[in-house]
Amino acid sequence: MIGSSGQSVLTPHSGPEHSITTLWWVMFGVACVGFTIVAVLLLLGWIRRNRAALPFGGTERAATRLVIGLGIATPLVLLTALFIWSDVFVIRTTAAPSPSSTRLEVHVVGHQWWWSLGYGGTTTANELHIPVRTRVDVTGTSADVIHSFWIPELNRKADLIPGRTNSLLLYADRAGTYPGQCAEFCGQQHAHMQLVVVAQPRAKFQQWLHGEQQPAAHWLPLFAKKGCANCHEIRGTPADAHVGPDLTHVASRELLASGTIPNDRAHLRAWLQDPQNVKPGTKMPNLPLSPRDLDALVSYLESLK
C-alpha cells in the first residue's frame, strides 16, 4: 500500500510501541550477556577438564558459591527485574486511555476471517481510520473463535475473546498506514485476516467519518434477489444483515476480503464470481450469478463510495 509502513516491532510509531521496543532491546542485550557467560564457562570447563584443580580459588565451596550465584541468584534477580519492568511498567503505557480522556472509541469485532469496526452507531470493516496523535480507545471482542488484534508498529496485541471485552490504546505519532494482522491462529484463512490502520490529520479523519456515517446513495434490488442481503448490510437500504462486512461504503476501501485482494473492478468481479477460489474456506459462499448479474452487482458496489 502506498506510504505504508511494515510490520516490524523494532520500528515503533507510538509511545507504547517505543517502550515495547526498548524492552525488547534490553531483553535481547541481557540474553546476549547471559549466553556469553554460559559459553565462556563451558569453554573454561572444557579446557580444564583434564586437570584436577577447580577454577576460582579451587575449593569445592567456591565452586558451589559460583553455581548458586550465577545459576540461581543472578537469573532470579534479572528475571524479577524484567518482569516488573514489562508487566508493571511497560504494560501501563499500552493500556487503553481512561474514558474521561478518550476522544474516540472504536469497537473491533473479530470474525472468521475479517474485522468489523464500530464507530458509535456506524459500522465499517477492515480499514481502521484514526486521527493522528490522538489517544484512541480500541475495545474488542469476537463473534466466533479467539482472534488477536495486532498492529505491530503501534502497540502490543489484544486478544479478542468471545463473551469478553478487552481494550487497548491505539495511537500513531505520524500520519500513514500501518498494517495489522490477526495474531491468534483462527482457522484456514487466519493468514488472510489482515487489517490496516489509516492515521490521518484530524480534519481528514472527520471528513472520512462523516462520509461513513451517510447512508448509501441508492439501492439495487438484485442485491436482495441474489441473496447478498441475507448476509450484508448496506445502510439506508433493505439490506440489513451482519454475517459479512458492512458494504455501505465498500468502494472507499483500498483492499477487499481483509487484505487479500486490491479493491478494483477486476478483483471485485473475480471475488463475487468465485470467493472460494480467491479465499478458500471463506464464509462467503459461491452464488450462481450470470455475467449480467455480475456486471450489475460490480457496478453497484463500485458506486458505494
Q: Which chain residues interact with ligand HEC by CB under 6 A? A: 113-114, 125-126, 189, 226-228, 230-232, 243-245, 247, 250, 253, 256-258, 272, 279, 282-285, 287, 297, 301
Which of ligand HEC, Cu ion, none sits in contact with 197, Cβ below 5 to 8 A by type? Answer: none
| By the rule CB under 5 A, 193 interacts with Cu ion | yes
Which of Cu ion, ligand HEC, none sits in contact with 245, Cβ below 5 to 8 A by type? Answer: ligand HEC
For residue 131, list its beta bridge partners. Answer: 200
Region binding Cu ion by CB under 5 A among candidate stretches 1-9, 142-150, 212-220, 277-285: 142-150
Which of ligand HEC, Cu ion, none sits in contact with 186, Cβ below 5 to 8 A by type? Answer: Cu ion
* 40 phi/psi in degrees, rounded to 5: -65, -45
CB of 138 to ligand HEC, least distance (A): 19
CB of 297 to ligand HEC, least distance (A): 5
CB of 137 to ligand HEC, least distance (A): 24
CB of 236 to ligand HEC, least distance (A): 17
Whichever of 90 and 272 has its CB closer to ligand HEC, that residue is: 272
Half-sphere exposure of 40 (CA within 13 A, CB side): 8
Whichever of 104 and 117 has its CB closer to ligand HEC, that residue is: 117
Helix (H, G, I), strand (E, B), or coil: what is residue 129? strand
What does each C-alpha distance from 222 to 240, 294, 296 come to in angstroms? 15, 10, 8
| By the rule CB under 5 A, 182 interacts with Cu ion | yes
Q: How far apart are CA 38 and CA 35, in angstroms?
A: 5
Angle between helices 74-84 and 15-47 (to 10 degrees): 170
Scored b (16 or more CB within 10 A) or e, 145-156 reads bebbbbbbbbbb
Helix (H, G, I), strand (E, B), or coil: what is residue 214? coil
Whichever of 32 and 243 has its CB closer to ligand HEC, that residue is: 243
Contact 197, 151 (CB under 8 A): yes
- Which of 13, 135, 147, 226 is the binder for Cu ion (CB under 5 A)? 147
Helix (H, G, I), strand (E, B), or coil: what is residue 148? strand
Q: How far apart are CA 149 and CA 158, in angstroms?
A: 5
End-to-end CA distance of the chain: give it in Å, rounded: 19
| By the rule CB under 5 A, 109 interacts with Cu ion | no
| By the rule CB under 5 A, 249 interacts with Cu ion | no
Residues making contact with Cu ion (CB under 5 A): 147, 182, 186, 193
